[in-house]
Amino acid sequence: MSQSSEKNILILGIGNVLWADEGFGVRCVEALNERYQFPDNVRLMDGGTQGIYLVQHVQAADVLLVFDAIDYGLEPGTLKKIYDEDVPKFMGAKQMSLHQTGFQEVLAMAEFTGNYPSELLLVGCQPVELEDFGGSLRDEVRLQIEPAIHIALDYLAQFSITPTAHNGQSEGLSPEELTMHCYEAGRPAEEEAFRKGDPRFLNKNEGCD
C-alpha cells in the first residue's frame, strides 16, 4: 500500500442521527473531528443522508474511509472492516435505508466517470435498533465508536497521516443542535416521546377532531 501523504483522503460518516443506530457513522466522524486536527490533504465530512450529492467529493478522493451502520447479519454491536472492491457489495447487501442506496449510486457514478478512489475502507457496525425516531445509539453501538476511531487512525497511518490533538474547540461538521451532546441533552424522557412515527397517521380511519 502506498505510503504517500500527498493523497487526497476523505473521511466520511453517513447515516441518519434521528433514527437510533443509523447515526453511528455520523457520530464516528464527529468524534474524530472534535478530537483531532488533520493535514490539509485530509477532509472530514458529515455525509448524513445526502446520497448522490456526495459524488463530487468521492470523485476528488484518492482514499475513502467510510463509517456507517451496516446490517451484516452479525451480533448487534459487531464492527466489521470491508476493503476496496468489496465495499459496494456490502453497502447494498441488505439496505436499511435510502442513504445506502444513494451511496451505492455515488460509488457507481464515480467509477463510471473514472474518478474513483484507489483505496477504500468501510468501517461498519451492526445496529441494535433502527425503528426509534428521536432515539439514541444503543449502548452496544455507542461502545464501538472508540474502536472504530482506532481502526481509522491505524488505516490512516499507512498513508503517513498522524493527526494532532485539538488544542481548542473544533469547528463542527454539522449544525450544533445535531451534535451528540446537544442532541442528547434536548431529548424528552422516553415516556413523554412517541418515536414510532406520528400517531395521527397510524390509524388512517381517524378523522380530525
Residue 118 has pLDDT above 80, yes or no: yes
Could you tell me the maximum CA-CA distance found in the chain, to the nearest angstrom? 67
* Distance from C-alpha of 82 to C-alpha of 75, rounded to nearest angstrom: 17
The domain made up of 9-200 has a fold known as Rossmann fold (3.40.50)
Catalogue the E-assigned strands of 18-58.
36-37, 42-48
Highest mean pLDDT among 90-104, 109-123, 186-200: 109-123
What pLDDT is attached to residue 17? 85
Q: What is the C-alpha separation between 34 and 169, in angstroms, rounded?
A: 7
Per-residue pLDDT at 175 exceeds 70: no
| pLDDT of res. 19 | 82
- Lowest-pLDDT range, 14-23, 96-105, 126-135, 145-154? 96-105
Domain boundaries of the chain, sorted by first residue: 9-200
61-65, 106-110, 168-172 — most confident range: 61-65
Do residues 43 and 11 make contact, with C-beta atoms less than 8 angstroms apart? yes
Split at pLDDT 50, 70, 90, the class of 124 is very high
Rg (CA), the chain: 18
d(CA 13, CA 10): 10
**What is residue 193's predicted lDDT score, i.e. its pLDDT?**
61
Residue 100 has pLDDT above 70, yes or no: no
pLDDT band, very low/low/confident/very high, at 18 (cuts 50, 70, 90) = confident
Long-range contacts of 187-192 (CB under 8 A, 24+ apart): 187/134, 187/136
Over residues 155-165, the mean pLDDT reads 93
Amino acid making up residue 143 = L
Rounded-to-integer distance, Cα 52 and Cα 63, Å: 18
The predicted model gives 126-140 an average pLDDT of 84
Out of 7-21, 42-56, 112-126, pick the least confident.
Answer: 42-56
- Residue 153's pLDDT is 97
pLDDT at 130: 80
Model pLDDT, residue 208:
47
| Cβ-count burial 51-82 (b if 16+ within 10 Å, e if not) | beebbebbbebbbbbbbbbbbbeeeebbbeeb
